[in-house]
A and B are shown apart, each in its own frame.
Chain A
Amino acid sequence: MTKHDLRGLTRRQLLSRGLSVGALAVVGSGFIAAPDAAWAVEVTVITPEQMATLLQMARDIYPHDQVADRFYAVAVKGYDSEEMKAMVAEGVAALDAAAKAAGFDSYVAAGWEEDRVKLLQGIEMTPFFQTVRSGLVTGLYNQKEVWPIFGYQGESFSQGGYIERGFNDIDWL
């Protein structure tokens, strides 16, 4: 199954090919996708459940309610690699074990962000958490498509700077 195959599927069709995991994603064979099929991430090395866990972690570490899941999905898809496989497997297993000990089926099955954040705080000092967190600093915030959501305008030289475009236009002081 490729990413393109998933495009245009209805939610019902998508659900027929996978299982809903947590609130964010539907997990199928070799992919995770948005429940409304707005985006999908293929996985070839790590499991779809592990990718769904990474996606939820990304949202819980840097939660911006106005930023769509697809940006977080882009930020974590690099973990689907041989190099990262062992760290991800071990890290997700530890996180899920902590979730079970706290009475949840898994980390992503904990419905409230507050509960999931407590689980993350428990693994905050691990290389797994620190790798995922520090990777998100560039993986999420350095996506140019994310910048307008925060109002940031990025490159300005090609437009002649702001000398004629509001460098001193503040009007509320």
Chain B
Amino acid sequence: MKQIAVISGKGGTGKTVVTGSFAALAKNKIMVDCDVDAADLHLLLHPAVKERHEFRSGQTALIDKKLCNKCGKCISACRFGAIKANCTIEHFSCEGCALCSYICPYGAIRMEENVAGEWFVSDTKYGPFVHAKLGIAEENSGKLVAKIRQIAKEIAERQAFDYVIIDGPPGIGCPVIASLSGVDCALIVTEPTLSGLHDAQRVIEVAKHFNIPVKLLVNKYDLNTGVTEKIEAFCRERVVPVVGKIPFDKTVVEALVEGKTIIEYAACPAVDEVKNIWEGLQ
């Protein structure tokens, strides 16, 4: 069983369109959407939810107004600026360290477990799909990513699947690192812009830092062939295989609006290249 994570550094380069195409092309696999704070893959896969679970993680401080003497000790101790001048907790700033609850002289602060989101196991016409929704203004996205990856891996092992295909989040931080850990291949989707190049360079270094084999594809490569060449040159230098170049293709947006993967929507140049890319990855 192989785990493939599709990531990008820069957002909006086409990760989900590529991952959705792999869902339509790959046989014997499970799909996972690890972009838990702005998940979109479900808009292409139209899952029928079979299992729904609460994601409990972290805690938040709660001040008992009856016991609180407004001494302000908690306010100055909190490193996250989560306690306002009137001694109330700003829920979305609290990182759940519990320091305030330990130092409050009046025992007025207790910690409450958070429900930080939900995760789902679903059926789709392309097979099983594990996805999640982080609660509004909640944290711990890295832990939620780790959770759904573990569930997907268990299902894949139980059903002897060949692939776990992961739609990753943008950036290089916590949820990206959680999406990458232990995968067999990180596939970077970038675009020929200076931002795309800059961000791909950083995320390639992240993958290398964690010893993850990394490959790259350039989406909308013909928008600026000069920058595409720069990306290819960087990849040669860092020994990153470039597995494909997808042309700019208006059909992609049309398919998106219809809620379809490009594979099922229409034959077009982008589809041909994505098929080549998937064949090359196997």
A binds B: no
* Chain B residues at the A interface, C-beta cutoff of 8 Å: none
